[in-house]
Chains A and B, each alone.
Chain A
C-alpha cells in the first residue's frame, strides 16, 4: 500500500507530483480523503498547511474540511517528525506489564516527551493505544518494527540501531 519511508529524498516538486498522481488515480472513489492524507503523510512525513491546501485544491474541497479531518485523527501530524518514530504501546496489557516504566526511561534518555522530537531530529515518541501484540507486552514499535518484552535495559541496545 503506502511506503513507510522514502529511501531517497525527493524534491518538493517531485513530492507534489507523486501526490497529484495518487489523487488522480483514485478520483472516482467516493470518500477517499483519509486515504489521500495517508499517502500525503507518507510522502511528506507530515501534513503542513501547504500540503493541506494543495489537497483541497486538487480534490475540490475546502481547506477547512481537510484541516478538520487532519486534526481529528491522531495518526496525522502537522509538525515534522524525527527520522525514526518510536511508538510506545500504552494498551492495557502493556500497561499492566510495566509500559509506564519503559516510557519514563525513554523520556529520560531522549529528554523529550510524547509527541515531541529530539533536537537532532533523530527520534520522535508517539503513544499508541494498542499495537495488538499483547503477547509480547510491553511493546514498542520503531518505524514499523515491533520489539517485545521491553525493559529499560534493552532500550539502549535497540536505539543504537537507529541512527
Chain B
C-alpha cells in the first residue's frame, strides 16, 4: 500500500517538501548537533520560514492552516531524519501554540500567535519534579496580589522554554482549593525575562540532544492577571485537552522514527555481505525488516484516521492513546532491529542507528508513559466502571 494512499495532492506535496527539507537542511547537521548537545537557532529559523511553527493555526495569525493529517505528516517526516528537530516542532505546535490558540482570549492570541508563527518558540510548563501525568500533585503556586498573581515553584523537562528564540511558556499552577478538596489548577502565560522567572537548560540527555529542555524557576514572579489562560480553575482540563492532542504528535514521531530506522536498516542490509551474500538475504535479517514493515503498515493508517477524527472535532482520548502507545512501541522495535542489523557498527556514533536507538526511548515516556497510555485505554474500555 502506498504511503500516500488516501492523501490529497496537497498532503502528498507537503510530505515531499518536508522530506526534501529534512534531507537537505537537517540531515547534514543532525549527528554533530546531537553529539555537541546543541540547539540550532539557524535550522529553527529556517523551519520557521517554511511555516513549520504555526502549523495548524489560521492564516490571520500567520499560521500555515494545516489540517491535522498534514501536521502529523510534517512531524513524521522530520522524525524520519532527526527526532530533536521533530521534537522542537511537535512541542512548539502541540504544547506551545495549542493551548494559546484553543484556550486564549482574542487579546492574548493577537499578542502572541503572530510572533510564535514567525520565529519565536513557546513552551508548556506542566511537569514538576513530583508531578507529571499526576497533575493533581502540582506544587507551583500562584497567589493573588491586587492586579497580579505571584508565582513560586519550579518545573522540569520543559521543551523549548529556554532558547534565544523563546518568547515564553504556559505554566500550570495551584491557585487554591476546589469545593471537593482537590487543588484548583490555573494556567498563566509567562514571558521569558519576567522578573523572578528563570530558565535553566538541562544537559546530559540520552536523547533529543539537539532540542532544548529546561528547568523553570519561579521566585515571587509577578504576572499580570491578564496573563491568565482561560478562567481560574480551568488548568486541569486545559492540560488534559492539550495532552490528548499532543499524544498524536508523539505518535507521529514514533512512526517517523520507525520509517527512518527501517530505511536505514534495509539499505545497510542490502549492501553488507556475510557468507557470500547480502545480509538482507539471510532470513534472520529479512524477517526483522518484514516485521518493521508490518508494524508501519498498520500504524500509519490508524494514526491518520485518528487525525481525521480530530479534524472532525471528535473526542480522541482512547484513540490518541492507542496511536501513541502503538507508534512508540513500534519505534522501539524498529530502532532495536536497526541496531541489531548493523551489528557492531550499530553501536558506533558514526552510524545513525545508535541515534535512532537513543531517541526512541523518550517516546515511551514523554506525554504520558506507556503505562499511563494503557491506563487511559483500559479506563476508556470500561475496566474500572
Q: Do A and B actually bind?
A: no
